[in-house]
């Protein structure tokens, strides 16, 4: 019996391959979007993990020299002999590859991600010849030298080797950049300042810097992932609803012929599971393609924005494709639950004609309305009170779900109003008929709403970020040229050489400090109009710049102000001296707090710091000549001289990459939403014939009917877009003003981009129209006989 029933169920698909295709395609698309975004996030996360594991960043305290210079190897030995369990690290770049030198005998994490089974020969690693571990691409970029061991777990663009080998490769004998402090230290040890007073201890952070920096970017991606999943569920729901609706008569017949209900349900569930697995597999493959197309852009964006290295190559992680299949199965189960419930309660004897979808009963509409109201009120309360990341996400969720629930009710009211206001009988019929169709389309319209709102929200956020950030770069990169000296001697010579040639030399010097218990960077700036003219203060006391120039006042950045609660007027102790805060400035993209003071004040606090980097002010016309002179007369390598235009161009390139990713995801979500509309219209098409037949009989041509169907779809899309725009803006506001502040400590001003929204609305209409085109065309070509049948007994 099972085989017979199964063959009957499956034969439906062979006879209706298009339906099978839409079901599979819908599921596959939803899975693809979800798993594509997941793949990108997973790849990036894996890259950070590898980086963190390599460097012990985050998980261990570290010792560095206060002036940022490398320390002598003797300092390391002195510390060890004083009972300090520290391990040396030297790192640098060679041919674009980051070389990390470790001492495996003392490193608390050994060699980090390198596995001993991967061909490590410790004897060779430690002595003489050496071994270098890294991914194939990083290894290939290295010149000939130590034996290379392909090691996919090492962070991208990085190789790990013994510290002795690294010092030799980098030509830095006897130098150490930092010391990792083992978590467990002996019971007795000499104090740090008696052995190495020039070292500063940096406390381990719970997450790696790189991770926190790039969170903002991943937040966008994750938001996209979740939204596309929600949209995907709508689509799957539509596809399954269609499949069940169309097979309802067959199900009845099978039961009348003696197939028990339970067996029928089991078989249909098995059938769905198989379809979900097939579609899920296709979706995972598609997602892989999407991810591998987007990943290079994502990697470039992260590298450019934050200096985080992410491999441009995607690896197939079992957890990832398994979760993709899981999402396809789980999503199908969720979407099918309602269909199964209806199937189980399908009366055996009711007329075998498809049940007409009528306006939802008043009670369930009221429940839905009440739920939407509760959620939206909750969103309102959260918008006023939310201070944490969790609350921020709760706000996003209540806002989106509330709006999606409210949409059909809003549309129903609007259509009812239009019906009342319209005069002609044809128009009245049109509005009433549209209203009648609403329940069947509401899921698809909710999907469209979410897709559009997400697009408005995320693109507003990204564009606002870009505007703010480029404006900020204009302030910050006021100097025409930036030069970096190799050591203190060269820095001195450079300053002397430059003095008569430029309008101003602005040293860039900083020292690590702790303010209100937060890791903070103290920045010492030469008093110059450059800062006064270009730095915008978010809040300040009068004559703030003069007070700073006086040497007793400081400025702090926004994230330090927000995290510590420090504000203008507060007093901050630094290295035993008190400073008054006279201003707060925006400092986007910086993960830690910053204190701005004059060079003089800085030098009294940190006399040992020698600036190696300088900003140069000069007329822009003189830049090329000076660059040439720096190369020819001073002998600075080209990499040590950066012109401002180059940095800005680079930043813009980075943002363009970001936009490639955002735009691609925008288009994909809209496509999915369009697909949802198509599904719904196809589901409705069979039911539409009896509804339209009377209109046809009364004199509307089939062509007119088809056209009206098309107009109806576009109209509903327009109405949905009208709701989506404010929703999207609310979403953007929540992301910028609440989620961003909670996550990163700075609030981005929100800008509006009406042209973008217009274009997006246009896309949405085109998507809706395209989705409606085929059902409308089919309707226009319905044989009159089919319409006539409505009036005969045969249906």
Partner 1 sequence: MLLTVTDLRKTYATADGPFDVLRGVDLTLDAGETLALTGESGSGKSTLLHLIGGLDAPDGGRIVLDGTDLATLDDTGRAAVRRGTVGVVFQQFNLIPSLKIADNIAFQARLAGRYDAAWCQTLADRMGLVSQLNKYPEQLSGGQQQRVAIARTLAPRPKLVLADEPTGNLDEATAANVLALMLELVADTGAGLLMVTHSDRLAGQMQHRLHLALGQIAGPVA
Partner 2 sequence: MNVKALLLCLLPLSASAQGFAGLGGDADGFSIPQPDPQFSFPADHGAHPDYRIEWWYVTANLTGPDGTPYGLQWTLFRSALAPQTQEGWDDPQLWMGHAAVTTPDAHYVAERLARGGIGQAGVTATPFSAWIDDWLFDGIDSGTLRATGADFAYDMQLTAQGPLVAQGIDGYSVKSASGQASYYYSQPFYEVAGTLTLPDGPVAVTGTAWLDREWSSQPLADNQTGWDWFSLNFDDGARMMGFRLRQTDGENYTSATWIAPDGTPTPYADGALTATPLEESQVGPRTVPTTWRVELPAQGVDVTVAAVNTQAWMDTSVPYWEGPVTIDGTRSGVGYLEMTGYE
**Contact partner at residue 104 from partner 1, partner 2, none, CB < 5 to 8 Å by partner kind:** partner 2
Q: Tell which positions 7-36 bind partner 1, by CB under 8 A.
A: 7-8, 11-12, 14-16
* Selected binder of partner 1 within 193, 578, 632, 794 (CB under 8 A): 794
Q: How many CA atoms lie within 13 A of 339 on its CB side?
A: 23
Contacts of 294 (CB under 8 A, 6+ apart): 36, 40, 660, 661, 664, 665
Task: State in angstroms the smallest separation of the CB of 440 from partner 1.
Answer: 22
Contacts of 429 (CB under 8 A, 6+ apart): 695
Report which DSSP code applies to 622: G
**Contact partner at residue 646 from partner 1, partner 2, none, CB < 5 to 8 Å by partner kind:** none
Of 693, 712, 709, 716, the closest CA to residue 778 belongs to 709
* Selected binder of partner 1 within 45, 94, 250, 769 (CB under 8 A): 250
Establish if 534 lies at the interface with partner 1 (CB under 8 A): no
Task: State in angstroms the smallest separation of the CB of 257 from partner 1.
Answer: 5
Which residue, 105 or 256, is less far from partner 1 as judged by CB?
256
Q: Encoding tokens for residue 268?
A: 């249909």
Which residue, 94 or 120, is less far from partner 2 as judged by CB?
120
Task: State in angstroms the smallest separation of the CB of 134 from partner 2.
Answer: 14
Torsion, Cα of 460, 461, 464, 470 (10° steps): -130
Which residue, 16 or 604, is less far from partner 1 as judged by CB?
16
Query: Cα–Cα distance between 354 and 241 in angstroms, integer?
Result: 12
Query: Cα–Cα distance between 330 and 229 in angstroms, integer?
Result: 11
One character per residue 295-334, x = contact with partner 1 (rule: CB under 8 A): ----------------------------------------
3-state helix, strand, coil in the chain (%, to 5): 65, 15, 25
* Selected binder of partner 1 within 18, 122, 256, 367 (CB under 8 A): 256
Which residue, 174 or 249, is less far from partner 1 as judged by CB?
249
Query: Cα–Cα distance between 239 and 332 in angstroms, integer?
Result: 10
Establish if 249 lies at the interface with partner 1 (CB under 8 A): yes
Of 255, 272, 256, the closest CA to residue 264 belongs to 255
Residues for the chain: how many in total?
795
Of 512, 518, 509, 574, the closest CA to residue 201 belongs to 512
Establish if 252 lies at the interface with partner 1 (CB under 8 A): yes
Q: Are 558 and 586 in contact (CB under 8 A)?
A: yes
Q: Are 237 and 276 in contact (CB under 8 A)?
A: no
**Contact partner at residue 192 from partner 1, partner 2, none, CB < 5 to 8 Å by partner kind:** none
Establish if 784 lies at the interface with partner 1 (CB under 8 A): no
**Contact partner at residue 85 from partner 1, partner 2, none, CB < 5 to 8 Å by partner kind:** partner 2
Neighbours of 251 (CB within 10 A): 21
Task: State in angstroms the smallest separation of the CB of 54 from partner 2.
Answer: 12
Q: Are 702 and 780 in contact (CB under 8 A)?
A: yes
**Contact partner at residue 687 from partner 1, partner 2, none, CB < 5 to 8 Å by partner kind:** none
Establish if 267 lies at the interface with partner 1 (CB under 8 A): no
Q: Encoding tokens for residue 507?
A: 């040293």
Q: Which residues bind partner 2 (CB under 8 A)?
A: 73-74, 76-77, 80-83, 85, 103-106, 110-111, 114-116, 120, 122-123, 126-128, 162-165, 167, 173, 184-189
Task: State in angstroms the smallest separation of the CB of 184 from partner 2.
Answer: 5
Establish if 349 lies at the interface with partner 1 (CB under 8 A): yes
Which residue, 272 or 584, is less far from partner 1 as judged by CB?
272
Contacts of 246 (CB under 8 A, 6+ apart): 12, 16, 19, 354, 686
Would you tell me which residues interact with partner 1 (CB under 8 A)?
A: 1, 4-5, 7-8, 11-12, 14-16, 249-250, 252-262, 348-349, 352, 793-794
């Amino acid at each position: 019996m099972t085989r017979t029933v199964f063959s009957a169920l499956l034969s439906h698909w062979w006879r209706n391959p298009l339906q099978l295709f839409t079901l599979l395609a819908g599921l596959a698309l939803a899975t693809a979007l979800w798993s594509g975004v997941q793949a990108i996030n997973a790849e990036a996360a894996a890259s950070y993990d590898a980086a963190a594991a390599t460097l012990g960043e985050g998980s261990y305290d570290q010792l560095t020299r206060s002036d940022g210079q490398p320390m002598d190897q003797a300092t390391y030995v002195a510390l060890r002999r004083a009972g300090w369990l520290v391990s040396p690290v030297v790192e640098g770049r060679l041919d674009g590859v980051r070389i990390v030198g470790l001492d495996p005998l003392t490193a608390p994490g050994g060699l980090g991600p390198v596995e001993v089974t991967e061909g490590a020969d410790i004897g060779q690693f430690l002595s003489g010849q050496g071994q270098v571990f890294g991914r194939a691409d990083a290894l290939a970029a290295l010149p000939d030298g130590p034996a290379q061991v392909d090691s996919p777990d090492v962070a991208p663009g990085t190789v790990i080797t013994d510290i002795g080998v690294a010092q030799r490769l980098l030509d830095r004998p006897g130098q150490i950049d930092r010391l990792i402090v083992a978590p467990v230290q002996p019971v007795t040890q000499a104090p740090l300042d008696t052995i190495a007073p020039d070292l500063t201890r940096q406390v381990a952070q719970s997450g790696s810097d790189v991770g926190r920096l790039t969170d903002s970017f991943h937040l966008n991606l994750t938001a996209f992932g979740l939204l596309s999943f929600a949209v995907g569920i709508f689509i799957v729901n539509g596809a399954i609803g269609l499949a069940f609706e169309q097979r309802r008569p067959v199900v009845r017949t099978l039961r009348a012929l003696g197939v028990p209900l339970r067996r029928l349900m089991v078989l249909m569930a098995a059938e769905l599971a198989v379809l979900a697995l097939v579609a899920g597999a296709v979706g995972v493959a598609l997602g892989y393609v999407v991810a591998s197309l987007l990943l290079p852009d994502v990697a470039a964006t992260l590298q450019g924005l934050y200096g985080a290295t992410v491999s441009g190559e995607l690896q197939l992680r079992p957890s990832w494709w398994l979760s993709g299949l899981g999402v396809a199965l789980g999503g199908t189960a969720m979407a099918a639950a309602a269909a199964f419930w209806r199937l189980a309660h399908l009366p055996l004897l009711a007329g075998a004609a498809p049940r007409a979808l009528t306006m939802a009963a008043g009670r369930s509409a009221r429940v839905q309305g009440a739920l939407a109201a509760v959620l939206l009120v909750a969103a309102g309360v959260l918008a006023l009170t939310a201070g944490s990341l969790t609350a921020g996400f709760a706000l996003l969720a209540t806002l989106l779900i509330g709006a999606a629930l409210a949409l059909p009710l809003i549309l129903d009211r609007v259509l009812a109003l239009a019906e009342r206001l319209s005069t002609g009988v044809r128009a009245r019929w049109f509005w009433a008929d549209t209203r009648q169709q609403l329940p069947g389309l509401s899921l698809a319209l909710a999907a469209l709403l979410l897709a559009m709102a997400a697009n408005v929200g995320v693109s507003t956020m990204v564009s606002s970020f870009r505007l703010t950030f480029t404006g900020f770069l204009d302030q910050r990169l006021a100097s025409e040229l930036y030069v970096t000296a190799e050591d203190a001697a060269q820095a001195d010579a450079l300053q002397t050489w430059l003095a008569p040639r430029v309008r101003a030399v602005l040293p860039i010097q900083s020292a690590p400090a702790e303010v209100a218990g937060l890791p903070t960077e103290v920045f010492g700036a030469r008093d110059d109009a450059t800062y006064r003219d270009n730095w915008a203060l978010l809040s300040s006391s009068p004559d703030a710049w003069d007070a700073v120039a006086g040497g007793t006042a400081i400025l702090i950045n926004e994230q330090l102000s927000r995290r510590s609660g420090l504000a203008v007027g507060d007093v901050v102790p630094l290295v035993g001296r008190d400073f008054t805060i006279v201003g707060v400035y925006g400092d986007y993209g910086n993960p830690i707090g910053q204190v701005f003071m004059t060079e003089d004040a800085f030098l009294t606090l940190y006399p040992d710091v020698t600036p190696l980097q300088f900003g140069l002010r000069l007329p822009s016309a003189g830049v090329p000549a000076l660059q040439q002179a720096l190369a020819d007369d001073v002998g600075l390598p080209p990499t040590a001289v950066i012109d401002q235009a180059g940095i800005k161009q680079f930043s813009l390139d980075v943002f363009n990459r970001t936009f490639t990713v955002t735009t691609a995801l925008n288009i994909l979500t809209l496509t999915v939403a369009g697909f949802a509309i198509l599904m719904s219209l196809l589901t409705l098409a069979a039911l539409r014939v009896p509804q339209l037949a009377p209109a046809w009989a009364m004199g509307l041509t089939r062509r007119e009917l088809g056209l009206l169907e098309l107009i109806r779809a576009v109209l509903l899309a327009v109405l949905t877009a009208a709701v989506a725009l404010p929703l999207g803006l609310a979403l953007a506001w929540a992301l910028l003003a609440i989620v961003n502040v909670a996550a990163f400590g700075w609030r981005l001003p929100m800008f509006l981009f009406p042209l973008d929204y217009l274009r997006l609305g246009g896309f949405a209409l085109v998507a809706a129209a395209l989705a409606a085109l085929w059902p409308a065309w089919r309707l226009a070509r319905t044989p009159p006989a089919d319409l006539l049948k409505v009036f005969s007994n045969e249906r």
